[in-house]
Structure 1
């Protein structure tokens, strides 16, 4: 806690003068371009990884970057917190992008991989069931990259499954079909600091270097947008 308190003072004294005008403007409204869904893991820091500033990202974090699927009526089959964030981002903020970002060495994916009962964590056990489809897919279809550890193989597939869960929400599906919303799957390797994007053509996660970034940006700016 001491580190947090001292950090507040450091921000106030050194950083706030640089952001004062931006915060004054943001106090009236926010217009983020993307909803960024990622894990609660302390090693995953969205604003650091994508070099964004206050007001750029609408962020939703939870254990395992999971999205409970919706019913045909658009009602979440799990915690309504995630569904509420999706509704607000799509209907109110009108974001143009939703990113689901998983990561290496994810504790949630390790728990799902080992399938060990957590007798003292009934809520966590119930929550992690939203990754069961990813575990089933890994077991029956195999990994996207067999060089990875099993829990990292699961983590990558889990990103794709959660995107599929997003598409069960009518408001998301409608906006995607209309070309007003793009869903992307990313995966962060903590050990190397590299971010990867899923490419449907190669059915793999490819590192986002300068060349890949140019291709992705060009695609996002294409006719579908």
Structure 2
């Protein structure tokens, strides 16, 4: 089974841990961020790299940029893939992703297969939403979540849409995301909160539209 580590230096990552641990062997690792935003010399906690090297895939929700960079640079050659869930600025993103086995998505619910076996195994269950809808007449009787957003929003929306009419179902599914607070905007700097929420809503809307075309 895929072994996943979620690393955080603050308030983010616990919800992803609760969701992902339902499918994969997952550990939540809290690290201490440096006191200041910029530091001349940064040392990782003793034993952290060795501990993380035992995992197949790492997801970081570290908000401190220097800590994120130091961790990713030291660990990326020892694991299958790294997903940077919190990053600041396109230049910083480029610096991380050029390492090769690092992804820094705009939204965690927009992950899709890329050909790497470790990453693809994870994305087979988490990333861009995918659902299967079972209907009786115009009523939704069941929704199977084939691929869930790492935060669990897809499962939340699917549960809320059960028993509802299929009329305008994709639109209502997208709107329902507003009731499951998306934290992605809070992990970016100088970004439009509504743009990120709209992206998540549209991804779920698209997933329900595709599912309705194949409904049973």
Decide: shared fold, TM above 0.5: no
Of Structure 1 and Structure 2, the greater helix share is in 1
Q: TM-score, normalised by structure 1?
A: 0.31
Q: TM-score, normalised by structure 2?
A: 0.32
